[in-house]
Structure 1
Amino acid sequence: MARTRIAALAAAAALTVGAGLTGCGAADMTRQASPFSDTEGARTVTLSVQSWVGAQADVAVAQYLLEHELGYRVDTVQIDEVPAWDALSQGRVDAILEDWGHPEQEERYIDGKGTVVPGGDLGVTGHIGWFVPAYFAEQHPDVTDWKNLDKYAAELRTAESGGKGQLLDGSPSYVTHDKALVKNLGLDLQVVFAGSEAAQITQIKQFAKERKPFLTYWYEPQWLFEKVPMTEVKLPGHEKGCDADPEKVACAYPHTPLRKFLNARFAKDGGDAAAFLKRFRWTKDMQNDVALMIAEEKLAPREAAARWVKENRTTWQAWLPATP
């Protein structure tokens, strides 16, 4: 989801989440392989953790169940979306649990090299879009049509947007066509990157506290909608192939069923762990429940997972491999 998703508070939040998820040590998999991945016969699993809290919720619950119900040791590593595919192909990680669509990597590693295989749907549909706060949309209903955004550019200006209206993005590493959209739709907007999901959330919550207008790149599922209600701005309709050329994109983002991918050898020889990850499937509301505990209640991911597991036994029992 190329969303590369200001202040010491945001940095501290990001560090807290990262530390909670990398129980065996935070490894940068662009430079270092985990010693626990791709070890023949070992009851260990290495999961890639993406930087947004919804994906962290996926991994937290999967890790908890793998460890407590199936007896595996689980190593987690934080890595950006595209490098995660390289690590998956090489066996440096065993699974990606939330992918927002990377057709070039699928073609290279699934169709070409055969080193990665689909692991099934996560059960959650993702959607990226442009959003304004509900209070601003109620005051100015026409702002929800992209054709009227220039009318409100002056109200959307910030110190960082250079005299144009600000379109707030998260991290430059996320899936985003926003610069091309602004250019190709001829809008008086400037894309400004917060730097991370945590920093973007901090900025959105500050705007909302002050009841200021804002326009932001955002996505569903995301727990923040419960705290800051937002209304989507309608962009030109998405049609197949309209985003094939990143420089020419002038259409809305698609609705994307989020999927899991496994290293091919792990999918074949990973035993109960591979079977479990293929069966792991939950809903947007379930993911948001765990994400909210991590991001808003400040629970460690392991604690949030433990609470969710305790309260949702009938759901996760269906993910466990059938015993002989």
Structure 2
Amino acid sequence: MARTRYAALAAAVALTALTGCGAADMTRQASPYAAAEGSRTVTLSVQSWVGAQANVAVAQYLLEHELGYRVDTVQIDEVPAWDALSQGRVDAILEDWGHPDQEKRYIDDKGTIERGGDLGVTGHIGWFVPTYFAEQHPDVTDWKNLNKYAEAFRTVESGGKGQLMDGSPSYVTNDKALVDSLGLDYQVVFAGSEAAQITQIKQFAKEQKPFLTYWYKPQWLFEKVPMTEVKLPAYKEGCDADPEKVACAYPHTPLQKFFNARFAEGGGDAAAFLKRFRWTTDMQNDVALMIAEQKLSPQEAAGRWVKDHESTWRAWLPS
């Protein structure tokens, strides 16, 4: 995820009708219903983090229950999803954290994808420590002091250095470049998935142990494990242009929707609805929390949210 690179969450929180997801290109597993002209079917790409799943769950619920569409969902890694969208294998991506190279290729050059507008949520990635540790050691929140605490963050997996915990190695991040560029005595260690990362964070918190982790907002886990951001060198436009030499913080990114161009023009009520679909960070977190923490199915969570927020979603429906 990101104008730079962003992470995902809760790969283990599966959606009904989702295909599997991993490092391989999943575009060949896309729905046969995508771009089916004249049919009342929609295929939505679902990224593996739970906020993206929350978007799709609510959109699917309303498309099916209010507009009478059949909705198919396909889980695809964030970059391959652009190729799937371009080819019409899926109709829409509802949460993108910024891929300017893909936008240039498919929107500006090929014209096979169109912008679908703001989701209404602003995303931000950063490095975080547990608030209980930050309160004990306030200077840890400045990156210049991280080497001072490298030993405290050391784990068996970090090879004698401090551990910077990331999620899945399939997610594109700046963390290795940041460690190198800033001269930090840390090793990036991948938990394996965002679900595994959440489990590890919860375990550290239960034991009141220090940890340094790549994490992001919006994210429901902050309600369960309060975390404080470490200040990295300020983000400036273009400071992350060379992925090998990034030495700045991640940006704050208004999350965007993207549609297959044919669907954007000929998708009828479904396309009109998805263009108007726009909610808040708190709304997304409410649904995400129900899915990831309360263990409701995505459609159960969406149904509860829809029941309580009619004044919001009514405005998304085509007039």
TM range (shorter): over 0.9
> How far is 1:33 from its partner?
3.4
Look up the SS of the partner of 1:81 in the other structure. coil
CA pair 33-293 structure 1, distance change in 2 beyond 3 A:
closer
Q: Within 2, Cα distance between the matches of 1:26 and 1:155?
A: 40
- Which 5+ residue runs of structure 1 have no aligned equivalent? none
Look up the SS of the partner of 1:74 in the other structure. strand
- Which 5+ residue runs of structure 2 have no aligned equivalent? none
Poorly superposed stretches of 4+, deviation over 6 Å: none
> How far is 1:149 from its partner?
0.3
Counterpart contact for 1:22–1:77, Cα < 8 Å: no
> How far is 1:4 from its partner?
5.3
CA pair 27-185 structure 1, distance change in 2 beyond 3 A:
closer
After TM superposition, the structure 1 = structure 2 runs for residues 1-324 of structure 1, keeping only pairs within 5 Å, are 1=1, 2-3=5-6, 5=8, 14-15=11-12, 17-18=13-14, 21-23=15-17, 26=19, 29-322=26-319
Q: Which amino acid aligns with 1:136?
A: F
> How far is 1:34 from its partner?
1.3
Counterpart contact for 2:29–2:74, Cα < 8 Å: no
Q: Within 2, Cα distance between the matches of 1:173 and 1:284?
A: 25
Q: Within 2, Cα distance between the matches of 1:3 and 1:163?
A: 27
> How far is 1:321 from its partner?
0.6
Counterpart contact for 1:27–1:34, Cα < 8 Å: no
- TM normalised by structure 2 equals 0.95
Q: Which amino acid aligns with 2:16?
A: T
The number of aligned residues is 312
Look up the SS of the partner of 1:118 in the other structure. strand
Look up the SS of the partner of 1:318 in the other structure. helix
Q: Which amino acid aligns with 2:159?
A: G
Per-residue deviation, residues 186-218 of structure 1 (Å, max 9, x unmatched) = 000000011111111000000000000000000
Look up the SS of the partner of 2:158 in the other structure. coil
Q: Within 1, Cα distance between the matches of 2:302 and 2:177?
A: 39
Per-residue deviation, residues 278-312 of structure 1 (Å, max 9, x unmatched) = 00000000000000000000000000000000000
> How far is 1:32 from its partner?
2.7
- TM normalised by structure 1 equals 0.94
Look up the SS of the partner of 1:31 in the other structure. helix
> How far is 1:27 from its partner?
6.1
Q: Within 2, Cα distance between the matches of 1:248 and 1:113?
A: 30
Counterpart contact for 1:3–1:171, Cα < 8 Å: no
Q: Quote the RMSD (CA, aligned, Å).
A: 1.3
> How far is 1:14 from its partner?
4.2
Look up the SS of the partner of 1:167 in the other structure. strand
Q: Which amino acid aligns with 1:271?
A: G
Counterpart contact for 2:56–2:94, Cα < 8 Å: yes
Q: Which amino acid aligns with 1:156?
A: F
Q: Within 2, Cα distance between the matches of 1:188 and 1:71?
A: 56
